[in-house]
């Protein structure tokens, strides 16, 4: 069933219920409609003159499958153990892993920054500065080590190509499992 929330006519910001799922509808200057899955729920982004209901109807099967998958991930994330470590412990662990993996990779970062990020666990700039998400403080040590290694590899290899993945797999053969676990921690910890 599809209803406009509050029986309002469509405007630039609307909420639409489709098959029991609430979608925020955002009308923008875009060429093609798309759906983004945010922490606040799915957002249907459509050109100004397109009917949101027709877009949802045309893509009903894939949309509902993706919503169901995300709902299952959110449920699984609730079961994850959140590690409680002090900021000092966290900083000491980061320092330890940066020293260790810098030697392994024969790289040198030019600085480490910490900040709260909404979608990423870390980033590496061309300047050699690595930024790590403050929420890493609450993930298991294996994931913390993996992210530090991942970002240090970017000092050698910019993208996520085959060569990059081969270097990652050399140190963390189960990196795909770790990526999935990080994704779940994203649902658990990131705003």
| Domain map (residue ranges) of the chain | 2-78, 87-189
| The pLDDT of residue 11 | 44
Count of CB atoms situated within 10 Å of the CB of 156: 12
> CA dist 26 to 31, 37, 81, Å?
13, 13, 35
**Structural contact between residues 64 and 19, judged by C-beta atoms closer than 8 angstroms:** yes
Distance CA(88)–CA(133), nearest Å, equals 15
Residue 120: which residues within 8 A CB-CB, separation 6 or more?
133
| The pLDDT of residue 66 | 87
Q: What is the CATH class of 87-189?
A: alpha beta
Top-confidence residue, 1 or 46: 46
Q: Which of 35-44, 61-70, 158-167 has the lowest mean pLDDT?
A: 35-44
pTM: 0.78
Question: In what helix (H) or strand (E) does residue 170 lie, and over which residues does it extend?
Answer: helix 162-171
């Amino acid at each position: 069933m599809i209803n406009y929330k509050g029986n309002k006519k469509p405007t630039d910001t609307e909420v639409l219920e489709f098959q029991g799922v609430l979608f925020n509808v955002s009308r923008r200057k875009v060429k093609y409609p798309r759906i983004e899955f945010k922490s606040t729920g799915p957002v249907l982004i459509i050109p100004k003159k397109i009917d949101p209901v027709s877009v949802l109807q045309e893509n009903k099967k894939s949309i509902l499958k993706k919503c169901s998958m995300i709902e299952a991930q959110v449920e699984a994330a609730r079961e994850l153990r959140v590690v409680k470590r002090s900021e000092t412990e966290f900083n000491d662990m980061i320092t330890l892993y940066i020293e260790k993996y810098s030697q392994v990779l024969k790289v040198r970062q030019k600085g480490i920054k910490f900040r709260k990020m909404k979608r990423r666990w870390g980033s590496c700039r061309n300047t050699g500065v690595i930024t790590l998400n403050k929420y890493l403080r609450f993930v298991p040590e294996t994931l913390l080590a993996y992210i530090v290694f991942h970002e240090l590899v970017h000092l050698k290899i910019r993208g996520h190509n085959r060569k990059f993945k081969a270097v990652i797999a050399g140190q963390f053969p189960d990196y795909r499992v770790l990526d999935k676990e990080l994704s779940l921690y994203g649902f658990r910890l990131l705003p």
